[in-house]
Amino acid sequence: MNTTVRLTERSGSNSSQRSKGFVPVVVYGAGSDTQSFSADAKTLNDILGKNPRAILKVEFPGSGSKNAVIQEVQRQPLSRTLLHVDLQQIDMKADLDTKVAFHFTGDPIGVKSGGVQQVELYELDIRTLPDKLEANLEVDISGLDIGDQLLVSDLPKHEGWEILTPEDTLIVRISPPLVMEEPADEAAAAPAEEAAEAGKSEE
């Protein structure tokens, strides 16, 4: 996997940059001022698709390279076109506040019984050293039955991670099956039809 991102000086409008295959990028952190650049959209999309938490080697125009991670991504809602990326420079020996996405595994018992899986939290806020970062956190939810829920406090300890998300935060729940309500017009029509039938039988 290529984790090198080459930055170029930004020129022209954001739309003109995107039309040429580049994405506006902001770089900050590690005691440096915030700087604006452009980067190749395909390179960033490849990294985001394979490991959005990878430690990147960011090459600055005319000033060498530094380590960084992707902290925020903006996409066009419908086309999912990459619009903007925030990169945070990092010190490999200093803790980093970031997020890790959940990857749920297993088919919950409750879902097999007709329950509905409802995900309330998709990412976990953590503090860790850069070399302890992972692409996602696998969570086995196969044992959840109808009425069960999983909180941040239920997660197993992960070596090297300090969890910043409050412990009482709900991650996922298995709700009872949805009950389809009878349409109001049909429900109202039923007694009327029964009355009509009763009238015919009396005649």
How does pLDDT run across 76-112, given as a tens digit for each residue? 999 999 999 999 999 999 999 999 999 999 999 999 9
Tokens representing residue 166 in the block: 């409050």
- More confident of the two residues 182 and 140: 140
CA–CA separation, 133 and 6 (whole Å): 22
pLDDT digits (tens, 9 = 90+) for 25-65: 999 987 778 999 999 999 999 999 988 888 999 999 988 89
Bridge partners of 73, per DSSP, are: 85
Q: What is the pLDDT of residue 192?
A: 55
Q: What is the pLDDT of residue 42?
A: 94
Picking from 36, 29, 68, the residue whose alpha carbon sits closest to that of residue 52 is 68
Per-residue confidence band for 141, with pLDDT thresholds at 50, 70 and 90 = very high
Q: pLDDT category, 17, cuts 50, 70, 90?
A: confident
Q: Give the angle subtended at the CA of 25 by the CAs of 20 and 26, to the nearest 5°.
A: 155
pLDDT, mean of residues 164-188: 81
- pLDDT band, very low/low/confident/very high, at 13 (cuts 50, 70, 90): confident
pLDDT of residue 82: 93
For residues 58-74, give the mean pLDDT: 91
pLDDT for 196 equals 55
Instruction: Give the Cα separation of 124 and 121 in Å (integer).
Output: 8
The CB density around residue 61, as the number of other CB atoms within 10 Å, is 10
Of the pLDDT bands very low, low, confident and very high (cuts 50, 70, 90), residue 191 is low
**How confident is the model at residue 137, as a pLDDT?**
94
- Classify residue 92 as exposed, middle or buried by CB count within 10 Å of its CB (0-12, 13-18, 19+): exposed
Q: What pLDDT does 187 receive?
A: 54
- pLDDT band for position 12 (50/70/90)? confident
Q: What's the 3-state SS for the chain?
A: CCCEEEEEECCCCHHHHHHCCEEEEEEEECCEEEEEEEEEHHHHHHHHHHCCCCCEEEECCCCCEEEEEEEEEEECCCCCCEEEEEEEECCCCCCEEEEEEEEEECCCHHHHCCCEEEECCCEEEEEECHHHCCCEEEEECCCCCCCCEEEHHHCCCCCCCEECCCCCCEEEEEECCCCCCCCHHHHHHHHHHHHHHHHHHHC
Q: What is the residue-averaged pLDDT of the chain? A: 88
